[in-house]
Structure 1
């Protein structure tokens, strides 16, 4: 019996089925293009492998943040209008309205028998929030099933340690791991590959599915560096191409 499955749709976007409940992470459905942010430009280099219609209905969207187009583009925003529930940051819920609901750190909501808990996240080094804005992660749990951590755009191993200390081993980790960098901050904005391997060790994760490491020009690391970082570790690394699916039974 499959307890967890994830279909990688590109960038940070994936369709997760867990405990019979369908979750979509950070929806991005646009074709390749440029997205100005102030005096910077984010460049999307690959298009989606599935349209919103092909994804279909989900029970909830897990949105790490709404303020950056690589996590929520035009097509993603249109998809949110059809979603019955969007779990995100406090500031994001205020901006989005509709079915968006704030999920503060360590608070939880039940979705079809799955408990979704807000997890702390930091989109860059200490002090970065004033420049990059608020982000969040998620923990999925259900009776009789292994817990699942979805990092969102978190770059802080200190927060990963806090999560591990509070909730114990997390068998399945979905890590945003492209080592993103932009001129805004002279440091990684998401986990680089070596830090992703460290995060897996801290969490005690038996299975890791990396996301958000391809499809955008500001990623500095990708599949090759992830494979190298996890080589020799006990973690099963599910290194998916867009359109591929991982299952944990």
Structure 2
């Protein structure tokens, strides 16, 4: 399985003859308003949407934050056959977007996609951050978990209990923090990535959403160090840069 990274949370992979793309973000560096706050993007996308080629399905964890769906990503998502996301996100996006409730599944070709929970911050903050979803994608004996923006290992435990044979885990990390939730993480840390890999039993972990934004407190170097310290560096597989 080939994983290509565009920077931020945007990764492509193929499964069951289909190409999937996570959280499309293609804009340049700069400041991006979100309510009365601003998120700062520190680096442009590695490549534009044309480098993705034909995409069959966008797996969109949520639409309400510019570091997960920016202007270029919105324009691109409107051109693909199907966008799977939260019910509220699908309502806002319209068109080709379909919302899935947690644990709801749909079939695309020979691939089964199940929406799974994601908690974008500490307990009790969904009213601040909005709903987020992850995905489990299955076909032909291969199972891929895409975490979306998740900060809870309890959520990972719940997913592992329902899907005991995760082959690949695409984990959004970076230990993101903003004043919205104080000193709590909005996404998992490198240490939590290691624990998530153990909980899921994933033989391969693909790191995503660990670069290009000022509100991330950890980088790929922290992830590499955490997996090396745990003796699990052989499970870590960084996506190939898109070009």
Task: Note whether the superposition's TM-score is higher than 0.5.
Answer: yes
- The answer to whether the 8 A contact 2:52-2:242 is kept is no
- The answer to whether the 8 A contact 1:5-1:18 is kept is no
2:237 corresponds in structure 1 to 238
Deviation at 1:241, TM superposition (A): 6.4
Q: What's the TM-score, normalizing by structure 2?
A: 0.95
Deviation at 1:57, TM superposition (A): 2.2
Deviation at 1:224, TM superposition (A): 1.3
Deviation at 1:243, TM superposition (A): 3.0
2:42 corresponds in structure 1 to 45
SS in 1 for 2:21: strand
Deviation at 1:176, TM superposition (A): 0.1
Deviation at 1:35, TM superposition (A): 0.6
Q: Distance in 2 between matches of 1:242 and 1:40?
A: 30
1:156 corresponds in structure 2 to 152
1:6 corresponds in structure 2 to 3
Q: Distance in 2 between matches of 1:233 and 1:102?
A: 39
Q: Distance in 1 between matches of 2:35 and 2:104?
A: 33
- The answer to whether the 8 A contact 1:67-1:133 is kept is yes
Q: Distance in 1 between matches of 2:139 and 2:240?
A: 28
SS in 1 for 2:11: strand
Q: Distance in 2 between matches of 1:58 and 1:239?
A: 21
1:247 corresponds in structure 2 to none
1:171 corresponds in structure 2 to 167
Q: Distance in 1 between matches of 2:190 and 2:240?
A: 16
Q: Distance in 1 between matches of 2:148 and 2:187?
A: 9
Moved over 2 A (4+): 232-235, 239-244
2:85 corresponds in structure 1 to 88
5+ unaligned residues in a row in structure 1: which ranges? Answer: 245-249
Q: Distance in 2 between matches of 1:38 and 1:140?
A: 33
5+ unaligned residues in a row in structure 2: which ranges? Answer: none
Deviation at 1:66, TM superposition (A): 0.1
Q: What's the TM-score, normalizing by structure 1?
A: 0.93
- Post-superposition Cα deviations, 1:128-154, rounded to whole Å, max 9, x if no partner, equal 1010000000001112x3211000001
SS in 2 for 1:184: helix
- The answer to whether the 8 A contact 2:19-2:56 is kept is yes
Deviation at 1:112, TM superposition (A): 2.0
Deviation at 1:105, TM superposition (A): 1.1
More deviation, 106-115/204-213: 106-115
RMSD across aligned positions (CA): 1.3
1:70 aligns with 2:67: yes
